Amino acid sequence: MFESQQKPTGTSYTTTAALLAVALVVSPAVLIISRPFGRIALGFAIACSVLCLVLAWVNWKTSSRLSVPSLETPRGKAK
């Protein structure tokens, strides 16, 4: 069923999705809830969102290197 020679496909994007959620949902929501907001709170929210977006992009680039396992059977295990 599972071959020990197959490489992982690198499809664990949970961290990327979490970082995108923080950048696009949580950070603006916290900014809106913490009214009245000034320049410091706005700068902090923008910096947090940009940092999360950059980390999500880096995580996406490192995790999206897919390697498709070969379809041929190894010569020693052929039936």
Domains of the chain, residue spans: 14-65
pLDDT attached to residue 12: 66
pLDDT surpasses 60 at 5 = no
**Looking at residue 40, what is its pLDDT?**
87
pLDDT at residue 13, rounded to an integer: 80
- How many whole angstroms separate alpha carbon 23 and alpha carbon 30? 11
Predicted structure pTM score:
0.65
Over the stretch 6-65, which tens digit does the pLDDT of each residue have?
Answer: 555 555 688 889 999 999 999 999 888 888 878 888 899 999 999 999 999 998 888 776
Residue-level pLDDT at 77: 56
Query: How far apart are alpha carbons 17 and 63 in whole angstroms?
Result: 12
